[in-house]
Homo-oligomer: A and B are copies of this chain.
Amino acid sequence: MTVTIYDVAREAGVSMATVSRVVNNNPNVKPQTRKKVYEAIDRLGYRPNAVARGLASKKTTTVGVVIPDISNSNFAEVARGIEDIANMYHYNIILCSADKRKDKEIRVINTLLEKQVDGLLFMGGAVTDEHKQAFKTANVPVVLCATTDEQNEIPSVDIDHEAAAYDAVKTLIGHGHRDIAMISGTLQDPSVGYARYQGYKRALQEAGIPEREDFVRVGNYRYESGIEAMGHFLEPDKLPSAVFAATDEMAIGAIHAIQDKGLSVPGDISVISVDNSRMAEMVRPTLSAVAQPMYDIGAVSMRLLTKLMKKEPVEQSKVILPHDVVKRNSAGAAQA
């Protein structure tokens, strides 16, 4: 049923070694022989068996990518960056979703390793000791992508989430705002949620603005939680003049909550966030946000991984990509 390298050899009147050579683009084959082999391949419809090849060569030219949540557009964008660079270097990628669940992450890492991937890209999510344990038993390079290892033991590519938040809030302060509320993500997540909260605090502190506990609400990154969180700020006695949301979705929720109260954005309250997803352009007013270079994070981390896999020297094993605040129409000057 399945045609093997051996069948091709017979058909072409050469040895299987020769067939193997032409399939692998080994230059030591006479052009004429090469031609004969190609013809035999076409005639028989031969398709190399990557599994057998992997076993014989101990390389699969495949890298495993674990993605926390495929339906999160940020991660999808990272994945695109990974894909593009992987293709460029002729690696295939196996994308595995882990539903943001740690146990599934570990399981997925292990099946990827069983499949003998040549390298591993771990995207998003916290990196615990258990993760590191799994990575350690891998005999292949691992790079973290859109997340970091606090102890700097594992190569990673990410942005500085604390600084991104800081810059967002500072933009607000630059507009003259002082009553700045924050709709945060979960503070349990050290690399993103907590870091952004830290950035918010640092910006306030630096401007000499005392932090008000009732000006911080924790959401779950989603639209609805933005509405809900904003609801708590929309009381006459504690109206903020600006709001910093940890994600675009929550920011859009906040904007709608504000508008539903008959107030205007940015006339009455300014809003800024971190993400700069496509949705930022799809709201009225358009959303000012700190842009994270998700595609680049993917691309750079994949590039780094290729170097590691080829045992090439790398200058930096922990890279931080720059972010950028994109001013649109949701944030403006504070009222006099």
Interface residues of A, Cβ cutoff 8 Å to B: 1-2, 45, 47-52, 54-55, 60, 62, 70-71, 73, 76-77, 79-80, 83, 92-97, 110-111, 113-116, 137, 139, 223, 249, 252-253, 256, 259, 278-279, 281-284
Contacts and interface: CB of A to CB of B under 8 A. Distances in A.
Contacts of A45: 137
The 6 A-B residue pairs whose C-beta atoms are closest, nearest first, are A95-B95, A71-B76, A50-B114, A51-B54, A50-B115, A51-B116
A69 to B, nearest CB: 9
Contact of A51 (B55, B77, B259, B278): B55
Contacts of A76: 70-71, 76
A111 B92 contact: yes
Contact of A259 (B249, B252, B284): B284
16 contacts: A47-B114, A49-B55, A49-B114, A51-B55, A51-B115, A55-B55, A62-B115, A70-B70, A83-B97, A94-B95, A95-B95, A95-B96, A223-B281, A249-B282, A279-B282, A282-B283
A93 B92 contact: no
A83 B77 CA distance: 19
Contacts of A139: 1-2
A248 to B, nearest CB: 10
A97 B80 contact: yes
A259 B249 CA distance: 22
A96 B111 CA distance: 17
A56 B217 CA distance: 56
Contact of A223 (B93, B110, B278): B278
A110 B279 contact: no
Given A50-B111, A70-B83, A76-B76, 17 more contacts: A1-B139, A48-B114, A50-B116, A51-B55, A51-B60, A62-B115, A70-B80, A71-B73, A71-B76, A83-B97, A93-B96, A94-B94, A95-B97, A223-B278, A253-B282, A256-B284, A279-B282
Given A55-B55, A77-B71, A278-B223, A115 B95 contact: no
A73 B51 CA distance: 32
A51 B58 CA distance: 9
Nearest to A53: B114
Nearest to A2: B139
Contacts of A110: 47
A27 to B, nearest CB: 23
Contacts of A114: 47-50
Contacts of A281: 223
A284 B283 CA distance: 9
Contacts of A252: 282
B51 A223 contact: no
A47 B80 contact: no
Contacts of A79: 70-71, 97
Residue among A2, A70, A252, A284 with most chain B CB within 10 A: A70
B47 A137 contact: yes
Residue among A95, A96, A253, A284 with most chain B CB within 10 A: A95
Contacts of A116: 49-51
